Structure 1
Amino acid sequence: MSQFPAVPRIRFVLVGTQHPGNMGAAARALKTMGLARLVLVAPEKPLDEEAFRRSAGAEDVLGGSPVVATLAEAVADCHLVLGCTARARRVQLEELLPAVAAQRVADRAGEGAEVAVVFGRERTGLTNEELQLCHAAVHIPSDPAFSSLNLAAAVQVLAYEVRMRLLGVQPQALAAPEADPGFREQPASHDQLESFFGQLGQTLDEIDFHKGRAPESAMRKLRRLFLRAEPSEQEVRLLRGILADAQRMARLAGAQGEGG
C-alpha cells in the first residue's frame, strides 16, 4: 500500500495508444513513482508480449489496467481531468506546466477527489473533442526544434512531478477528510458535469437562445466558464433545477402559441 493516501485516487489515462510496448513502458514509469492506476482507452492493439516485456516488473499495473471504449467513460467519476498536449489547439484551456499540474493533482486527490491525467495518441495526441472533456491542459516545455516526446517519457515526467508534490506534503494533509459540516461541498464529477452540459445545450435550443447562429461557439465558452468555476454536486443540482424550470416554461409558451 502506498504511503500517500492520495495515490489511489490518481489515475493516468492513455487514449488510442498505437504501440502496445508504450503501454508497458508507461506502466513501468508509473510504478517507479509509486503510482498504480493506469486506464487504457480504445488502444489500437491489445496488450501483447512486448507490452508486458517493456513493463519490466510492473506487470501488475499493466495487467490490472481496465480497457474502456471512450475517454468520457474513463473519467466519468473524476472531479479533475488534465489533458497533456504538445501544441495549441482550437480548444482554449488553461495551460499548466507539469509541476503546477502535479500540485493541482496532489491537492485535489488529497481532498478526496478522483483525478485523471490524460495522454493522447503517439502521432496525433488528443482530439479537440477529447480536450473538451478536460479542465486544463498540461504542456511539457520540450525543445521546439525537437519537441516530439515519447509517450512513456511524457508519462514519466508527469508521474515524477506528481511524486515530488506528494513528497512535499505532510501525509496527514493528503488523507480524505472526515465528515465535517465545515468542509467544502464535494465537487461535481465529470459525468455530472457532462449531463449538465447536455441539459444546458437542450435548454438553449428550446428557448431559441442562438437565434439561428451555430451553437458550438457559445457552448465552448459556457463549458470553459463552468469548468473553471468547479461547481459542487449541490450547485449542479441547483443549476439543473433552474434549467428544468426554463424548459417547462418554454414548453408552456410553445403550447400557448400553438393554441393561439
Structure 2
Amino acid sequence: MLERIRIVLIGTSHPGNIGGVARAMHNMGLTDLALVAPRCEAITQDSISRASGADHLLHNAQVFATIEDAVGDCTLAVGASARSRTLPWPMLTPRELADRLPGECQSPNARVALVFGREDSGLTNEELQRCHAHVNIPTNADFSSLNLAAAVQVLAYECRMAWMGQHANEPAAQAAPRPDADDALASHADLERYFEHLERALVAIEFHDPDKPRQLMARLRRLYLRARPEQMEMNILRGILSATEKAAQHKQPRE
C-alpha cells in the first residue's frame, strides 16, 4: 500500500523543506516524491543535510510542470489544505484519510497522491479543485501554521499506521475477492480529459456560457470527483458526450 502513495509538493521555495519532507517520508516507508514547479533547487547541501540519510528520495524525485502532470496516473488525489474559500469540497481528517487507504488500494490501478502547497500561500482554489477531497490537520486555532515537513510527517504517519493495520489483518484481506480489471478506477488524467470534453459539449448545446460560468464546471468537477467513476463508466460517459456533440451539430437552426 505504501508504495502506491505519492507525496506531491507544489511550488516549494526552500530546499531545506524538500529535504525535511524526504526524511519524513523515509521515516514512514514512503518512496514516491514528486515536485511541481519548485521555486528552488531540490538538491543542495541544505536539502541533503535536512534529509539526514534520505537523500536518495531527492535524487529519485520526479519534477513536473503542473499538478495535472504530477497526478495524472493517480486514482485519488487529496489536497492538504483548509476548506476551499469559494466552494465547499469533501473534507477529511488525517485519520479518516488513512482509514480509506486500504480499501482505496484494492483497485488494480490504484495510486494515491497527497498534495501539499507552497509554504507561503498553500494550494490555490484551482489546484484544490483538481483534488477528489481535502485533508485538514486539526491544529491549535491560535497557532495553526505547520512547517511543510511537519505536515507531511503527520499524514505519512497516518498512512503507515493504516498499512500496519492492514498488514496485521493480512490473512483476512487475502481471503477477500480481488477486483478485476473492469473495476479499475478512472485515473486523474482520464477525468481531466472528461472535464474538457464535458465543457466542450455543454458549450455546444448552449447550456454553458464560458463568459458567465457561475461555477458550473467547478460544481460538476466536484460531483464527478466525489462519484469516483471506473474506467468503463468513464468510457460510457465520454460516448454520451460524443453523441451529444454529434446531435448538436445536426440540430436544425430555429426559424
TM-score higher than 0.5: yes
Alpha-carbon distance in structure 2 between the residues aligned to 1:174 and 1:116? 23
Deviations 1:104-131 (A, max 9, x none): 2343124340110000000100001101
The alpha-carbon distance between structure 1 residues 173 and 152, as it changes in their structure 2 partners (threshold 3 A), is farther
* Residue 122 (structure 2) pairs with residue 105 (structure 1): no
Deviations 1:177-208 (A, max 9, x none): 98765x76111000001100100001110000
Alpha-carbon distance in structure 1 between the residues aligned to 2:25 and 2:154? 10
CA contact (8 A) 1:110 1:174 kept: no
Q: Structure 1: which 5+ residue stretches go unaligned?
A: 1-5
2:134 match: 137
2:124 match: 127
2:253 match: 257
Q: Structure 2: which 5+ residue stretches go unaligned?
A: none
* Residue 51 (structure 2) pairs with residue 52 (structure 1): no
Matched to 2:98, the amino acid is A
Matched residue SS, 1:191: helix
Within 5 Å, give how 1:165-176 maps onto structure 2.
165-169=162-166, 170-171=169-170
CA contact (8 A) 1:23 1:51 kept: yes
* Residue 23 (structure 2) pairs with residue 23 (structure 1): no
CA contact (8 A) 2:89 2:133 kept: yes
RMSD over aligned Cα, in angstroms? 2.1
Q: Which residue, 207, 210, 233 being the options, matches 1:209?
A: 207
Deviations 1:60-101 (A, max 9, x none): 112110111111000001100000003542132111000111
* Residue 60 (structure 2) pairs with residue 72 (structure 1): no
Aligned length: 250
Alpha-carbon distance in structure 2 between the residues aligned to 1:20 and 1:162? 24
Alpha-carbon distance in structure 1 between the residues aligned to 2:45 and 2:131? 32
Between stretches 127-136 and 81-90, larger displacement belongs to 81-90
Within 5 Å, give how 1:173-188 maps onto structure 2.
185-188=183-186
Matched to 1:33, the amino acid is M
CA contact (8 A) 1:19 1:45 kept: yes
Alpha-carbon distance in structure 1 between the residues aligned to 2:210 and 2:51? 53
CA contact (8 A) 1:84 1:138 kept: yes
The alpha-carbon distance between structure 1 residues 174 and 79, as it changes in their structure 2 partners (threshold 3 A), is farther
Matched to 2:221, the amino acid is R
Alpha-carbon distance in structure 2 between the residues aligned to 1:58 and 1:174? 31
1:230 match: 228
Deviations 1:116-159 (A, max 9, x none): 00000001000011011100000000011000000000000000
1:163 match: 160
- % identical aligned pairs: 46
